Every structure is written in C-alpha cells, then in structure tokens.
C-alpha cells in the first residue's frame, strides 16, 4: 500500500501543479489516494507566506473544495487519472500474487455529476475559535488539533453547499452567541453547544440536528435550553430558516448512534423525503443517504446496468443503508436481501419498500460480518445471486469477504468504494487472490472485469469507484 500511495501522490501532485499552480504553490496540496491533505507542504518560506497571505475564505475553499479553481472538465480528468492509477496498482499486485501478467482493468469514462455547485443535501458545521477569536463561531476548520492552529471559518462562500445550509449555520451561530452556555470544543474542558447538521431535499424541506454535551447540567435546565432553541428557530430570528424538523441529541461522545443516545424531535416532522429515479425515500436524522442526490441517480443507474441482474436472480445488498439500491433494482430481480448495521436505517428501508409498494425486499439489521455468513449458507446452490456492496471507507470485514468469496452461486459482485486506495484495496485482493486455506478463502477467485468512476463530489478530489468482479 505504501508503494501505491507514493506513486499516487507523486502523479496527482504533477497533475494539480500543471492544472492549477496557485493551488499548489499556495501551500496546500490535496491529493487523492484517500485524499490526503498536506497542509503547508511547501518548505519554501516565500510559498508559505503566499499561503498565509490568502484570505480565510480562499484558504477554506482550498481545504474543503481543493479543485474549485479548475474548470469541471479538468476536475474530471484529474479524478479519472487518479482511478487509473489505483486500478493499475491493483492489476500489478494481482499479477505479482498470481505470477501471471494480467491485463489492465478497463476503466470506462468518468460519469459527471449533473449538478456541479451547491449539490450537498447534508452538511455539518463545527464550533471553535473564529478568525476574530470568538469561540462561538460556527463553520469549518482550517488547521489541525495536533498543531493547535485550528481556526473556524464560516462556509458562506463554498461552492458545494447550498445557501439553505449556510443560512441555518449563521442562525445557529447567532443563537449560541446569545446563549449563556459555552461551546463544547474539548470534551473534558466543559461547555455544551456542539456541531449542527443540516439535511435538505430537492423540494427545499430542511432538517436541523443540534448536538449538545450535557456535562453535569440537571435535566430541567437542559429542557430550558431546548425550549430556547425551539423558540429561536420557530418564532425568533431563526424562523427565517423555515425548518421542517428540529432535532436535538445529548451526546457525551464524538459520535453517538440513536441507540446510544436517542435523537429528540423538538419540533416539526420526524422525517424528510427524497425522490430518486421515481422512488420515494424517507430520511431520518442519522440515516445514510448519498450527499449528491442528482449524482446518486447516475450511480444507481450505473450499478443496476453493471450488475446485469435478471428476473431469476437474488440481489444481495450489503451495507444497504435506507435501501435505495435494492428498492431501485427490485423490479429487475426475483428477490432483494439487504443488510445494514444501523437499525434506524433498516427501519427506514422497510418503510421505503412499503412506501414504494415493493414486496420482494427483505432488510436485516446487524453487522454484515455476523449476519452474512449464516444467511448465505441458506441460499443453497440453486439460482443466481448478484451481490452489491457499498461499505464505508473502512471497507468490508474479512468475514464478509470470505462469505462472498466462498459461496459458489455468487457469480458477479459490484463493489462501490468512496476510498478504493484504502481498505477497499485489501478487499479487492482478497476477492481475487488464489485460494488460501490459512485464511479460509477457498472459493473460486473473482476477476475484476470493468470499472467506472462516478463523480459525486465536484470541486473535491473525491469520487465513487464502481468495480465489477466476475467468475
């Protein structure tokens, strides 16, 4: 992995330097292969001064949307070339493992996002010391905690966030600056107000989720502050946001699930809804949903076409989220079985299937590495199974890969990865390597046959890579 990372960094640095010299010489270079961000990478003092002399807005744009200076065609070229490097390295590693020179994996032209600006349907804003030193500043970070140089800058100028998200963030900042409670920046230093997440749909409906550290506040006092929050956003200055849902989560950890600390609906509707490819989906406060809805339609159409699933097949949807892929593909297959670790997402998936009058979908809550091995043994050897996996950046657990690899009826697997250079690369190799008794990878190896990138995140180096494996 170190070798591919170094090569990837070197080539991407060259691509960005040639396409956008200001971005490179400005002291920040955002490179792919996991999109590692090298802050103040340049050692030249003149270059360092050049970066420091930029406005805070430009610096934040370089941090959050590092390709923003490039025209969209150039952004797509850089992303396509990044994925070519990853697939070349995968071919090289598989060749080395097998002792046979394997052909390169065909990479189809990158699929652009239908929407280039203001496309995010979900944004999270943090609280920290701002440019003016005010610790009650709501925005996004420049700098790192390790270097103790974090500055929180408002994101009003960012190209990937819609105006509604920015408006809610500005109002939340106004609210906490009026509040007698302090922000919770470092948990053990006290404070209460934490980040805010805003979700919107194409119809403009808006959900806000406020995170709060209770520390040692009594329950009745927390209730007073919740009432103040509702008052501000429904009758006060924040009413301009026209929220449809306002949630509150008391969280003593960086991230809490609904099971660990329930999301409390303070005001409005419990859900918002989004339509994708003619299907309607319910979105809960913590449910996973692709952040670029228009590009998600392109992604799901691509996955459906590449899967080549037929009416006699069972679709196995691993890491199914709220069931979007399975429900959209349900008309193509005999049956859909979805697995998802987040219980609320599974409830949403079941509701979504009913909402769209889809009767051939079953959704199971649990860890894929626990559920799948037992589930897959019950499939038998009759009928075809097409698998679609869409894991987080951490990739799939080895037990999941082993179950998929060792079941002979799974002839085609579509892997969707937002970070194909990381743990996904390990997954790719385990799917394709020769049989290994020691690791219990005894099934017939898969072969990567085609790949395509889908740009879900314009102005950033990120995209989704879809790889088809067959045997």
Would residue 67 count as lying in a domain? no
Distance CA 108, CA 306 (A): 12
55 pLDDT more than 50:
yes
Q: For residue 139, what is the enclosing H or E element?
A: strand 137-142
Minimum mean pLDDT range among 21-35, 161-175, 223-237, 416-430 = 21-35
Structure confidence at residue 288 (pLDDT): 86
Same domain, 392 and 426: yes
The helix, strand and coil proportions of the chain, stated in percent and rounded to the nearest 5, come to 35, 25, 40
Residue stretches of the annotated binding site for S-adenosyl-L-methionine: 290, 340, 390
Q: How many contiguous H segments (helices) and E segments (strands) does the chain have? A: 13, 19
- Both 411 and 459 in one domain: the answer is yes
pLDDT > 90: percent of the chain: 70
Same domain, 193 and 229: yes
- Full domain range(s) for residue 338: 292-470
Report the 3 state secondary structure along 358-396. CCCEEEEECCHHHHHHHHHHCCCCCCCEEEEECCCCCCC
Distance CA 235, CA 240 (A): 9
Would you say residue 403 has pLDDT above 80?
Answer: yes
pLDDT in tens, 254-296: 777 777 889 999 999 999 999 999 999 999 998 889 999 999 9
pTM to 2 decimal places: 0.87
Residue 203: inside a domain: yes
Mean pLDDT for the chain? Answer: 88
| pLDDT score of 47 | 45
Q: Which residues are catalytic?
A: 418
Q: What is the CATH number of the domain that holds 137?
A: 2.40.50.1070
| pLDDT > 70 in the chain, percent | 88
Domain end among 244, 275, 306: 275
- Please report, in range form, the residues annotated as the binding site: 290, 340, 390
């Amino acid at each position: 992995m170190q070798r591919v990372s170094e090569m990837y960094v070197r080539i991407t640095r060259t691509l960005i330097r040639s396409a956008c010299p200001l971005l490179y010489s400005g002291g920040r270079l955002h490179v792919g292969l996991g999109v590692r961000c090298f802050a103040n990478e340049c050692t030249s003092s003149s270059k360092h001064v050049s970066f420091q002399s930029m406005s805070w807005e430009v610096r934040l744009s370089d941090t959050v949307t590092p390709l923003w200076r490039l025209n969209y065609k150039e952004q797509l070229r850089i992303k396509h070339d990044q994925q070519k490097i990853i697939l070349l390295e995968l071919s090289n590693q598989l060749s080395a493992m097998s002792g046979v020179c394997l052909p390169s994996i065909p990479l189809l032209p990158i699929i652009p996002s239908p929407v280039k600006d203001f496309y995010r349907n979900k944004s999270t804003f943090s609280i920290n010391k701002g440019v003016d030193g005010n610790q009650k500043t709501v925005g996004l970070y420049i700098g790192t905690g390790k270097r103790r140089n974090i500055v929180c800058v408002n994101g009003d100028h960012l190209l990937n966030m819609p105006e509604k998200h920015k408006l809610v963030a500005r109002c939340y900042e106004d609210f906490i600056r009026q509040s007698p409670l302090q922000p919770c920046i470092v948990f053990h230093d006290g404070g209460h107000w934490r980040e805010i997440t805003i979700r919107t749909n194409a119809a403009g409906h808006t959900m806000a989720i406020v995170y709060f550290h209770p520390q040692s506040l009594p329950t009745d006092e927390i209730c007073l502050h919740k009432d103040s929050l509702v008052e501000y956003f429904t009758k006060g200055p924040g009413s301009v946001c026209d929220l449809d849902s306002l949630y509150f989560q008391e969280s003593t950890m960086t991230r809490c699930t609904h099971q660990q600390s329930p999301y409390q609906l303070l005001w409005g509707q419990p859900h918002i809804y989004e339509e994708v490819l003619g299907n309607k989906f319910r979105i809960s406060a913590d449910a996973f949903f692709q952040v670029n809805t228009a590009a998600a339609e392109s992604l799901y159409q691509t996955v459906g076409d590449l899967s080549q699933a037929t009416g006699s097949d069972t679709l196995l949807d691993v890491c199914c989220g709220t069931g979007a892929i399975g429900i959209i593909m349900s008309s193509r297959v005999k049956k859909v079985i979805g697995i998802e670790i987040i219980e609320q997402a599974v409830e949403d998936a079941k509701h979504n299937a009913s909402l769209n009058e889809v009767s051939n979908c079953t959704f199971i809550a649990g860890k894929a590495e626990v559920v799948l091995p037992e589930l897959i043994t019950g499939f038998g050897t009759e009928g075809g199974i097409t698998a679609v996996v869409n894991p987080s950046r951490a990739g799939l657990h080895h037990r999941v890969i082993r179950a998929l690899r060792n079941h002979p009826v799974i002839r085609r697997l579509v892997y969707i990865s937002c970070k194909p250079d990381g743990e996904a690369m390990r997954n790719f190799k385990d799917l394709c390597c020769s049989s290994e008794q020691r690791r219990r990878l005894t099934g017939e190896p898969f072969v990567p046959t085609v790949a395509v990138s889908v740009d879900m995140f314009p102005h950033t180096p990120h995209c989704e890579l879809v790889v088809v494996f067959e045997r």
